[in-house]
Amino acid sequence: NAGVTQTPKFRILKIGQSMTLQCTQDMNHNYMYWYRQDPGMGLKLIYYSVGAGITDKGEVPNGYNVSRSTTEDFPLRLELAAPSQTSVYFCASTSKERWGDPNEKLFFGSGTQLSVL
């Protein structure tokens, strides 16, 4: 019953450091997404993946990298962290890219709060 699991929940980085935000899902979903949520703003798409080995950029990809070696895992890598990357990061997954059925939806993790100082 785990759903989408993100680790860590909180992290403080110094400028220039790097880190990987982990995301794993146990629902066998092909489609996975990384969003960032800035204060007072809606979520913005960073990267997404339509299956193992296939990733693509979203609206705000600069400063991030992703990989998808398995169906379950979709880690987000921050290289050379900058204060502008202070945000809350959410991972999400879904079984279908397009939602015709009322029961199809995005499943979200509980988020990683990242501060870059």
Footprint of other proteins on this chain (CB under 8 A)?
4, 31, 33, 40-45, 48, 56, 58, 90, 92, 94, 97-100, 102, 105-106, 108-111
Give the span between the Cα atoms of 83 and 14, in whole angstroms: 9
* Three-state secondary-structure class, residue 83: helix
Nearer to other proteins, 43 or 76 (CB): 43
Shortest distance (Å) from residue 57 CB to other proteins: 10
Nearer to other proteins, 56 or 79 (CB): 56
Q: How far is the CB of 79 from other proteins (least distance, A)?
A: 23
Contacts of 101 (CB under 8 A, 6+ apart): none
The contacts of residue 82 (CB under 8 Å, 6+ apart) are 15, 63, 116
Which of residues 14 and 40 has its CB atom nearest to other proteins in the complex? Answer: 40
